[in-house]
Structure 1
Amino acid sequence: MNFDLIALALGDVAWISLAFVFGFIARSVGLPPLVGFLATGFLLNSQGIAAGDTLEKLANIGITLLLFTVGLKLNLRTLARPQVWAVAGLHTTVVVALFGFVIYGLALIGIPYVSNLDFKGAFLIAFALSFSSTVFAVKVLEEKGEMASLHGRIAVGILIMQDIIAVLFLAVSTGKWPSAWAFFLVLLIPLRFVLFYVLKRVGHGELLVLFGFTLALGGAELFELVSLKGDLGALLLGVLIASHPKAGELAKTMLEFKNLFLLGFFLSIGMSGQLTIETVLIGALIAPFVLIKSALFFALLAGFRLRARTSLLTSLNLTNFSEFGLIVAAIGVSNGWIADGWLIVMAITLAVSFVIAAGLNKNAHHIYARYQPTWRRMQRPKRLADDSLFNIDGATIVIIGMGGIGTGAYDRMRDQHGETLVGIDIDSVTVKNQQAAGRRVLLGDPSDSDFWDRVQSTHTLKTVMLALPKFSSNLAVLEQLKEASFSGKIAVTAKFDDEAEALKQAGATTVFNVYAEAGNGFASHVVALSP
């Protein structure tokens, strides 16, 4: 019997169980479970347990799957917006210059541990701090159901631009330039039609899952073979098939696998090295710099004619430091530019920024609503067409979330009430398709307090029907309705009994349990067909 394998299995059970306990505690106090996973990593590290090959492989697969699913939902036209490429470029330039001089100033005045940095080392650390975490931001957006929102799309676009900057840095600092074979990657464009053909015929079960893994991991490996960042390969493969009707289903299918593997990523951050009092203090000292990053993002986005709310939510999504900072620190250590302890400092700074960002993003809508007049004074009078408020034009019924359930509800309500209703969806592609089908559907964010204030001022709305896929999204809308003093009927869909109870307590007039009522709906449909 192989006792080494038994020891490895028991070790895995131990850290998985510990991650569950700390993740559960974090969730119980209103923080994302990933904060608990980070704490688990630091605890294991304090006990002398280092991240092994198994954990590293889990982390790498998690990041690859994450970027693949981002690609499945990405519209490349978003990257062409100046609110993305210009903001990303300006922000990186200003942050590197500002943080670089501040850190070098701290070194000159003899701050312990920082004093060992020279000019090049200070600016290397500043460059590492200029990036925001793709993993964290996308995970938060998905949990809140806001990936398709304007602020979500702009945040992801900025993160992708930062990834491109990261690739250039790696090429310059390590001499790892793309090989001549990288030119042939353009052949992936005509290959998309083959991928479409396969995706259409793989069905909805295990073959769909395997196809997703093949594209994500295969794309990453293909890019690595030509000396490009593998994660970008996974992202590109996702983009290639994003326009296929089954892309959304594939993204949902890969969701839980991605979340499981990302556990390894968050654990590995905390286990990246031994902690000392000095590294903890310096990491805690640098972590608040993330708020300066956030303020600069807000100023730039508002300056590029985004609404104050969109600018704020995008900035909060990016209020964190990036795992790429660990890579930059590792390159700095290997080249002798900085001391090896800075790798631990960056890990602590990253973890603390995640805790800060988790709290801010959890309360993002409340932060905007509470200080709404202040934020709105900072926005420019002229704004972008797709970031402007709209009217519901006298509608008495609004259906929020125009997926399968919302579409069915819209058609039934239109048959009974005529054209006195309107549909709302956060996804521009969904809105375009619904409008093409002849439905009156508008693009909007239902968690936007500005929107509900404007709707309430018309005094025409009597019924709100929430058919959003995320439980947290439904709760956010109910909170906005409560803040706006809406007195009409509120119907909400739910998938589980505990969610239904929580929605009723949050103000829903009635809750429709999708799974529990499906049988009744099916039977009613059959009865209607009976002679």
Structure 2
Amino acid sequence: MEFAWILIALVFGVGVRLLRFPPLIGFLLAGFALNFLGYQANDTLHSVADIGITLMLFTIGLKLNVIDLLKREIWLSAISHMTIWITVFVSLIWLLGIVGGAYFDVIEIKTASLLAFALSFSSTVCVVKVLEESGEMKTRHGKLAIGVLVMQDVIAVIFLVIVTGVMPSIWALALILLYWLKPLIGRLLDLAGHGELLPLTGFFLALGGYELFSLVGIKGDLGALILGMLLSKHVKAAELSKALLNFKDIFLIGFFISIGFTTLPDLKMILVSLIISLLLPLKFVLFFGLFTRLQLRGRTAYLAGQVLSNYSEFGLIVVALCVNLGLLANDWLVILALSVCFSFALTSLVYQHSHQSYNQLKHIIRRFERADRLREDIFHQPKDAEILVVGMGRVGKGAYEALSAVLGDKVWAMDADRERVKKQRKAGCKIMLGDAEDVDLWDNIDHSNIKLILLALPSIGDITSINQQLKNVSYQGKLAAIARYEDERQKLLNAGVDNVFNFYTEAGTGFAEESLLLMDHKV
């Protein structure tokens, strides 16, 4: 990869960050800028982009519970949304064709259906990136969105088999053996340890899964996803995901840049892509309506619907097939690439304020909820709790154990990860399932007896949001939090958090003080 690509990506990434926009938008702009400057996308860039997507799907698999995909709110919403969207979109194209809209007046119903199908998908790359940046991958709405994306990937594989006419090899049946090889793959992960061998093993498994599925005629990305799912229950799954996080983010920059190399558009193409982008609110309305009809809470439906309201890079594959078959003009590939870029930017911008907008609209949104809730959406009360530890990662778990050793049942914990909650309950922990950023949660639980809440969360944005929500519900107790850096600590103190523990600095101080006690004891 040429140094100029890295330079332009850095300049645009830092530039949009200074404007308080997500870096993702800068990387998209960098691709168009490089194209405008005369650079050409080469095999290296495409390889980097492909590796980024493969690693991303592998890490999704590491966090995915297969049973979640069988839930009605996931598979039924994905199929229903696609069906309704195609029907509505084809009707709109037909109307635009009647009034003589540019590019729309020459599209037949069959081609319009394929175009609608291409735009019915949501972007896995965009959704995962946005959810990870906001620390919401394991929340109720985050898991719902990921589940819908996986179902869309399954539909994409079926579509490609039908359209290309390329059936998987008979050897594809042998992939079933991977289930029985799971202990052997897990053993390899154990042998990798905790150093540089761990991410290397992750690369081997992700890319190996891709190549294995490709060899038998199945979409390679699906192989990376499935191999990750096989390891999702492994004790080192979370550690492996974290080890691959920075690698995945770096490679994905290549993907965002590559979109800008599709071609340079003219004004007419930009206007058509903007018209298509104006239909994104319709995508949100359909998701929101389906989710609420399937008994999901208004907040879950609202947030999941927002993050899924974009167009997918898979749409470019569908349109490219249509162009090759002579069903669409080559200009449509450019138009769709622009629509995908616009949708990425809109999702990144809108979702930054999704929690605040929900708080403002919650009284209206709740009117669409059904009275009969799903069992997992019913809130549980922290009985007799005086201290609540939010976030049961390593820091939160340590704080909970230390406090409960002194105060016993007066200490409760809360976490948004269902699997972690189940595991901690089996270990005897007083813990409730809940997303602390959920304003509905604080509205529905009795926090009058809680004297102290500890926010053991990694994201300063999450902590700031929770702090504001606790103020909104008139929480009277104290609030403590952790921070990784001194500037973050100061921001939280300025926002009204009563005490902020600098994780790196004060952990070292505590370690030194505990060690000095050993010397005193000997004396």
TM-score range, shorter chain: over 0.9
Indicate conservation of the 8 Å contact 1:307/1:388, yes or no.
Answer: no
Q: SS of the counterpart of 1:493? A: strand
Q: CA-to-partner distance for each residue in 1:461-511, whole Å, 9 max, x for gaps?
A: 221101012333222222322333333211111111122122222221111
> Residues 54 and 491 of structure 1: is their aligned pair in 2 closer, same or farther, counting only changes over 3 Å?
same
> What is the correspondence of 1:12-161 to structure 2 with a 5 Å cutoff?
12-161=2-151
- Looking at structure 2, the residues matched to 389 and 480 of structure 1 have their Cα atoms a distance apart, in angstroms, of 17
- Secondary structure (helix, strand or coil) at the match of 2:482 reads strand
Q: Confirm or deny that 1:512 pairs with 2:501.
A: yes
User: Is 2:241 the counterpart of 1:241?
Assistant: no
Residues 391 and 455, structure 2, Cα contact 8 Å, conserved in 1: yes
Q: Equivalent of 1:465, from 450, 454, 473?
A: 454
**Are residues 1:411 and 2:401 paired?**
yes
User: What is the identity, as a one-letter code, of the residue corresponding to 1:347?
Assistant: A
Moved more, 354-363 or 385-394: 385-394
Could you list the per-position Cα deviations for residues 191-220 of structure 1 after superposition, in whole angstroms to 9, with x for gaps in the alignment? 110011111121111111110000000100
Q: CA deviation at 1:368?
A: 0.9
Stretch of structure 1 that moved more, 363-372 or 500-509: 500-509
Q: Report the secondary structure of 1:306's partner residue.
A: coil
1:398/1:421 contact within 8 Å kept: yes
Name the counterpart of 1:255.
Answer: 245
- Among 463, 468, 480, the alignment partner of 1:491 is 480
CA contact (8 A) 2:186 2:231 kept: yes
Do the aligned partners of 1:92 and 1:130 also contact (CA within 8 Å) in 2? yes
Contact 2:8 / 2:34 at 8 angstroms: preserved in 1? Answer: no
What is the rounded CA distance, in whole Å, between the counterparts of 1:470 and 1:378 in structure 2?
Answer: 31
Structure 1, 297-306 or 445-454: larger mean CA deviation: 445-454
Letter of the 2:477 counterpart? G
| 1:87 partner SS | helix
Give distance in 2, aligned partners of 1:164 and 1:416. Answer: 51
Q: Secondary structure at the match of 2:373?
A: coil
CA separation in 2, counterparts of 1:388 and 1:109? Answer: 50
- Paired amino acid for 2:511: F
Partner secondary structure for residue 409 of structure 2:
coil
Partner in structure 1 of residue 353 of structure 2: 363
From 363, 366, 378, give the equivalent of 1:373.
Answer: 363
Q: Which amino acid aligns with 1:286?
A: I
Cα drift, residue 19 of structure 1: 1.1
Aligned to 1:325: 315
Cα distance, 1:271 vs. partner?
1.5
Q: CA deviation at 1:155?
A: 0.7
Following superposition, the deviation at residue 157 of structure 1 comes to 0.7
Deviation of the 1:26 alpha carbon? 1.9
- Equivalent in the alignment of 1:178: 168
Task: Report deviation, 1:297.
Answer: 0.4
1:521 to 510, 514, 520: 510
Matched, 1:345 2:304: no
Matched residue of 1:422: which SS? strand
C-alpha distance after superposition, 1:66-103 (max 9, x if no partner): 00000000000110000000110110011011101211
Shifted more, 474-483 versus 153-162: the winner is 474-483
8 Å Cα contact 1:18/1:40 also seen in 2:
yes
Shift of 1:46: 2.5
Equivalent AA in structure 2 for residue 68 of structure 1: F
Equivalent residues of 1:143, 1:472 under 8 A apart:
no
- SS, match of residue 114 in structure 1: coil
Shift of 1:53: 1.2
Match of 1:290 among 280, 300, 315: 280
For residue 432 of structure 1, what is the amino acid of its counterpart? K
Q: What is the one-letter code of the residue matched to 2:149?
A: L
- Other-structure match for 1:198: 188
Note if 1:430 corresponds to 2:420: yes
For residues 315 and 515 of structure 2, the distance between their equivalents in structure 1, rounded to whole angstroms, comes to 59
Are positions 1:400 and 2:397 aligned together? no
CA distance in 1, matches of 2:379, 2:466: 17
- How far does residue 414 in structure 1 lie from its aligned partner after superposition? 1.6
Alpha-carbon separation, structure 1, partners of 2:98 and 2:109? 10
Matched, 1:336 2:288: no
Superposition RMSD on alpha carbons, in Å?
1.3
- Cα separation, 1, equivalents of 2:96 and 2:391: 51
Q: Name the aligned partner's letter for residue 474 of structure 1.
A: I
What SS does the aligned partner of 2:370 have? coil
1:327-364 per-position Cα deviation (integer Å, ceiling 9, x unaligned): 11111101111000000000111111111111221111
> 1:42 touches 1:270 (CA, 8 Å); kept in 2?
yes
2:372 matched to which residue of 1? Answer: 382
Contact 1:394/1:458 (<8 A) preserved: no
Cα drift, residue 312 of structure 1: 0.8
Contact conserved, 1:106 with 1:115, CA < 8 A, in 2? yes
Which of 211, 216, 226 matches 1:221?
Answer: 211
Name the structure 2 match of 1:211: 201
Letter paired with 1:243: K
Q: Distance in 2 between matches of 1:258 and 1:476?
A: 27
Opposite residue 441 of structure 2, the aligned amino acid is F
Counterpart of 1:220, as a letter, is: Y
Q: Are 2:299 and 1:316 aligned?
A: no
CA drift at 1:458:
4.6
Q: Find the counterpart in structure 2 of residue 480 from structure 1.
A: 469
Residue number in structure 1 paired with 2:263: 273
Flag structure 2 segments of 5+ consecutive residues without an equivalent.
none
The residue type equivalent to 2:119 in the other structure is L
* Inter-partner Cα distance in structure 1 for 2:10 and 2:313: 22
Q: CA deviation at 1:144?
A: 1.3
Q: After alignment, is 21-30 or 125-134 more displaced? A: 21-30
For residues 460 and 50 of structure 1, what CA distance do their matches in structure 2 show?
63
What's the CA shift for 1:249?
A: 0.3
Q: What's the counterpart of residue 420 of structure 1?
A: 410
Give the residue type in structure 2 aligned to 1:109: V
How far the C-alpha of 1:40 sits from its partner, in A, is: 1.1
Deviation at 1:315, TM superposition (A): 0.6
Checking the alignment, whether the CA contact within 8 Å between 1:41 and 1:267 is kept in structure 2 is: yes
CA distance in 2, matches of 1:458, 1:267: 47
Q: One-letter code of the match for 2:478?
A: K
More off after superposition, 218-227 vs 142-151: 142-151
Q: Which amino acid aligns with 1:513?
A: N
Q: Greater shift after overlay, 320-329 or 106-115? A: 106-115
